[in-house]
Structure 1
Amino acid sequence: MADARVELGEQGWRHFSGLHRLLLNLAGRVPDDWLNHVRAMLAAGDLAKIPDHVSGATAELGVPLTTGQVALLRETVATFFGGREPMRIDGVRIAEEIPATAHRFSPVPADVLATDGARIPPRLDLSGRPGDDLWDLPPALAPLDDLATRLTDLEDSAPLSVLRGREDVLSIARAWRFPPGAGVRVVLIEVAAGAAAWDITRTVQQALHRHGDPGAQVEVFWTGEDLPPYHRTALAGAALLQRA
């Protein structure tokens, strides 16, 4: 479903964007594979099924939602299944603030941290490189030239390739999330207001799967919006791969 405003009108956009934001707020607080699955459902247009998945999982895991998020789940179910409540919705804990993330983020993978962690700044800006090759570092990172082929990898090129030429994509960053020990790739994509963020999420997730990293997390957010603590922390510890 390319754009809910076209397919379902403004009500559809409200449901799609609201559920997308809700899933952003669950990043780092629920299992990665579950989150990838539900995001794929959203991109496929399965709005009717998502509230039960979210309410059931958050009740089971003890992950709190806000009153506004619970209201969105109820409204979405009412729109498609009038007369019933989302699964286990009364068992969902309520909290109006999203807790700070316990994860750590790095702009480089674990093997580089192990050998050269003292040389790596908290955030890397690779967007000023002279060419398209990620291994061709910008002049400001010349002291790291000996690490050029280890700062990024072929999987980092996947989002750049599939999103090439899209005017609604404003920046692409990638961080490594710890724990676990080997790290999880987190791709952070800033898009223009009105972009179908759920479709971009699916496009990049599928590209990373084809490139051999099906467990990577893809976080797509609209420019100018307040971000959850998880994403603010991830961006502060990321490598900026591309900027419009």
Structure 2
Amino acid sequence: MIDETAAVALLRGFAGRVRDSALNHLRGLLAAGELDLLESELVTALALDRVPVLPGELEDTDGLVVGTDLPRYDFAAAEPEPADQAAVAGVFGIEDVRTIRKALRISASGATALVWVVELAAGSDVSRWRRYLPDLSAFPDSTCEIVAEGERLPPYQAAALAAGLVVFSAQPGR
């Protein structure tokens, strides 16, 4: 069975490859501690959508597409919108939240999607994803990445964090 730390790393690695809605669901399973179900449903999502899996990324790749041709994305700051403040209002009082950023993910084909990045204090438990989730009901086709200050991030999350428009900061001027 996979542990929470490995599950966080695994799901981060599939960001931008697995459909955002499936990734959001899988992160919900992580937050609920349903790690066996998370593994099973991840493999199902990968198989159904024929998502490429890197050699060595998963122990059992039977029935999955194994390859190295992964999607590439650029990120840019998303435009501010009136609904931004309502989206992040629910996390204002949570002590661990340092910043919330909104980035625009741009695929090679030009398709775009919003990626929210919630940055927590160093050492925070990023596996408890739902606790820090902004209300994204006004942004139904978006996804959210939860990261901690100072942690080493995969390229996808690092690029989204670097490019994102700061929508909320616990430290004014940041």
Same fold (TM over 0.5): yes
Match of residue 186 from structure 1: 115
Q: Is 1:172 aligned to residue 100 of structure 2?
A: yes
Alpha-carbon RMSD: 3.0
Q: Which structure: greater helix fraction?
A: 1
Q: Percent of aligned pairs with the same residue? A: 30
Structure 2 SS opposite 1:197:
coil
Instruction: Report the CA distance shift for 1:66/1:220 in structure 2 as closer, same or farther (over 3 A).
Output: farther
Structure 1 SS opposite 2:18:
coil
Q: Which stretches in structure 1 are left out of the alignment for 5+ residues?
A: 1-10, 72-87, 109-150
Q: Deviations over 1:99-136 (max 9, x none)?
A: 7752222213xxxxxxxxxxxxxxxxxxxxxxxxxxxx
Match of residue 236 from structure 1: 162
Structure 2 SS opposite 1:35:
helix
State whether residues 42 and 50 of structure 1, in contact with CA within 8 Å, keep that contact through their aligned partners in structure 2.
Answer: yes
Q: Distance in 1 between matches of 2:146 and 2:55?
A: 21
Match of residue 62 from structure 2: 90
TM-score w.r.t. length of structure 1: 0.57
Q: Deviations over 1:29-88 (max 9, x none)?
A: 111111111112222222221111222333452422463x535xxxxxxxxxxxxxxxx6
Instruction: Report the CA distance shift for 1:102/1:70 in structure 2 as closer, same or farther (over 3 A).
Output: closer
Q: Is 1:227 aligned to residue 153 of structure 2?
A: yes
Instruction: Report the CA distance shift for 1:223/1:100 in structure 2 as closer, same or farther (over 3 A).
Output: farther
Structure 2 SS opposite 1:162:
helix
State whether residues 43 and 198 of structure 1, in contact with CA within 8 Å, keep that contact through their aligned partners in structure 2.
Answer: yes
**How much does 1:23 deviate?**
0.9
Match of residue 107 from structure 1: 77
State whether residues 101 and 230 of structure 1, in contact with CA within 8 Å, keep that contact through their aligned partners in structure 2.
Answer: no
**How much does 1:181 deviate?**
5.8
TM-score w.r.t. length of structure 2: 0.77
Q: Distance in 1 between matches of 2:38 and 2:98?
A: 28
State whether residues 104 and 178 of structure 1, in contact with CA within 8 Å, keep that contact through their aligned partners in structure 2.
Answer: yes
Structure 1 SS opposite 2:42:
helix
Query: Quick check: which has more Rg, 1 or 2?
Result: 1
Match of residue 35 from structure 1: 23
- 5 Å-filtered alignment, 1:1-244, equals 15-60=3-48, 61-65=50-54, 67=56, 70=58, 89-92=61-64, 102-108=72-78, 151-179=79-107, 183-201=112-130, 203-204=132-133, 207-209=135-137, 212-243=138-169, 244=171
Q: Distance in 2 between matches of 1:53 and 1:188?
A: 24
AA at the equivalent of 1:187: W
Q: Which structure: greater strand fraction?
A: 2
State whether residues 169 and 189 of structure 1, in contact with CA within 8 Å, keep that contact through their aligned partners in structure 2.
Answer: yes
Provide the aligned length of Structure 1 versus Structure 2.
168
Q: Which stretches in structure 2 are left out of the alignment for 5+ residues?
A: none
